[in-house]
Structure 1
Amino acid sequence: MLRWIIPIVLYILIDVYAFQAVKTITKNPLLHGLYVLSSVVVLGLFIYAISTGEARTNPKLMYVFGLFLALLVPKLLLVLIMFGEDIVRFVLGLISKVGGSETGFHMPSRRKFLSTVALGIAALPFASLLYGMVKGKYNYKVLKYALEFDDLPDAFDGYTLTQISDVHSGSFDNAEKVNYAVDLVNKQKSDIILFTGDLVNNVASEMNEWKNVFGSLKAKDGVYSVLGNHDYGDYVEWNTPADKINNLQELKDIQKEMGWDLLLNESRTFERDGQAIKLVGVENWGKGGFKKSGDLEKACEHVAPEDFTILMSHDPSHWQAQVKEHPKNIHLTLSGHTHGMQFGIEIPGWFKWSLIKYRYENWAGVYEEFGRYINVNRGFGYLGYPGRVGIWPEVTVITLKKKLKTA
Structure 2
Amino acid sequence: MDFSLIKFLPFVVFGLTFLFGGHYLIYRSLTGVFNISHPLFRSGLLAFLMIMPAGFFISSFIAHASQSQLAKITYIIVATWLGLAINLLLAAILIWLVSGLMNWAGLSFNKTFLGAGVFLLAAILAAYGFWNAFHPQIKNIELTIKNLPAAWQGKTLVQLSDIHLGYIYGADFLQAVVEQINAQDPDLILITGDLFDGTDGDLNVFVEPLNSLRAKEGIFFVTGNHETYIGLPRALAVLKQTRIKVLSNEMVNLNGLQIIGLDYSLLNDEVGFTGQSSDEGKIITSLLGFDRNKPSILMYHAPINIEQAAAVGVSFQLAGHSHNGQIWPFNFFTWLIYGRYDYGLNSLGDFSIYTTNGIGTWGPPIRIGNTPEIPVFKLK
Q: TM-score range by the shorter chain?
A: 0.7 to 0.9
Q: Which amino acid letter does the alignment assign opposite residue 77 of structure 2? A: Y
Do the aligned residues in 1 keep the contact of 2:197 with 2:226 (CA within 8 Å)?
yes
Q: Would you say 1:128 and 2:125 are equivalent positions? A: yes
Cα distance in structure 1, aligned partners of 2:233 and 2:331: 38
| Structure-2 separation of matches of 1:143 and 1:9 | 38
2:335 to 343, 346, 357: 357
User: Cα–Cα, structure 1 residues 56 and 315, in superposed 2: closer, same or farther, change >3 Å?
Assistant: farther
Aligned length: 353
User: For 1:265, which of 243, 249, 252 is the aligned residue?
Assistant: 249
Question: What is the rounded CA distance, in whole Å, between the counterparts of 2:128 and 2:46 in structure 1?
Answer: 20
State the match for 2:88 in structure 1.
74
1:310 aligns with 2:297: yes
Structure 2: which amino acid aligns with 1:161?
Answer: L
Shift of the 36–136 alpha-carbon distance from structure 1 to 2, 3 Å rule, reads farther
By how many angstroms is 1:307 displaced? 0.6
2:197 counterpart residue number: 201
Aligned-residue offset at 1:291: 4.9
Matched, 1:50 2:46: no
Return the match for 1:370 from 328, 336, 349: 349
| Partners of 1:160 and 1:190 within 8 A in 2 | yes
Instruction: Summarize the alignment of residues 23-34 of structure 1 with structure 2, pairs less than 5 Å apart.
Output: 23=35
Secondary structure of the residue aligned to 2:144 is strand
CA positional deviation for 1:389: 2.1
Percent of matched pairs sharing the same residue: 22
Q: Which runs of 4+ in 1 moved over 6 A?
A: 32-36, 55-58
Instruction: Check the 8 A contact 1:264/1:282 in 2, yes or no.
Output: yes
Tell me the TM-score normalized by structure 2.
0.80
Report the Cα offset of residue 200 of structure 1: 1.7
2:67 matched residue in structure 1: none
Q: Is the 8 A contact 1:195 1:225 kept in 2?
A: yes
SS at match of 2:260: strand
1:270 partner amino acid: L
Residue type at the aligned position of 1:140: P
Does the aligned pair in 2 maintain the 1:74–1:123 contact within 8 Å?
no
When residues 16 and 203 of structure 1 are mapped into structure 2, their CA distance, relative to the original with a 3 A threshold, is closer
Cα pair distance change 1:36/1:373, threshold 3 Å: farther
1:59 and 1:386 in contact (8 A); partners too: no
Moved more, 249-258 or 377-386: 249-258
Give structure 1 stretches of 5+ with no counterpart: 93-107, 237-246, 346-351, 402-407
Q: Which residue of 1 is the match for residue 365 of structure 2?
A: 386
SS of structure 2 residue aligned to 1:16: helix
- Aligned-pair RMSD on alpha carbons? 3.4
C-alpha separation between the residues in 2 aligned to 1:163 and 1:80? Answer: 38
1:337 aligns with 2:321: yes
Letter in 2 for 1:310: I
Superimposed CA distance per residue, residues 32-82 of structure 1 (whole angstroms, 9 cap, x where no aligned partner): 987875664353233233235538977532431331441353344334433
1:309 to 1:191, Cα distance in 2 relative to 1, 3 A: same
Query: Larger Cα Rg: Structure 1 or Structure 2?
Result: 1
**Alignment match, 1:348:** none
Give the secondary structure class of the aligned counterpart of 1:54.
Answer: helix
Cα distance change, pair 332–75 in 1 and its aligned pair in 2 (3 A): closer
37-46 vs 259-268, which deviates more?
Answer: 37-46
In the aligned structure 1, how far is the partner of 2:17 from the partner of 2:254?
Answer: 55
Contact 1:21 / 1:115 at 8 angstroms: preserved in 2?
A: yes
Alpha-carbon distance between aligned partners in 1 of 2:53 and 2:332, rounded to the nearest angstrom: 25
Residues 75, 290 of structure 1: CA spacing in aligned structure 2 closer, same or farther, 3 A cutoff? Answer: closer
Q: Is residue 282 of structure 2 the alignment partner of residue 297 of structure 1?
A: yes
Secondary structure of the residue that 1:208 maps to in structure 2?
A: helix
Tell me what 2:224 maps to: 228
- Residues 27 and 49, structure 2, Cα contact 8 Å, conserved in 1: no
Residues 1:65 and 2:61 are matched in the alignment: no
Q: Whose helix fraction is larger, Structure 1's or Structure 2's? A: 2
Q: Deviations over 1:8-45 (max 9, x none)?
A: 2553244224422223xxx9x89x98787566435323
Aligned residues of 2:193 and 2:223 also touching (Cα < 8 A): yes
Answering whether residue 378 of structure 2 is matched by residue 399 of structure 1, we say yes
Paired residue for 1:239? none
Q: What does the per-residue CA deviation read over 1:102-155, in whole Å, with 9 as the maximum and x for residues that have no partner?
A: xxxxxx7x944355235423433322123322x122111100111224422223
Letter of the structure 2 residue corresponding to residue 376 of structure 1: T
Give me the whole-angstrom Cα distance separating, in 2, the residues matched to 1:177 and 1:189: 20
Indicate whether 1:85 and 2:71 are aligned.
Answer: no
> Letter of the aligned partner of 2:88 in structure 1?
P
What does residue 145 of structure 1 align with? 141
Alpha-carbon distance in structure 2 between the residues aligned to 1:200 and 1:167:
7
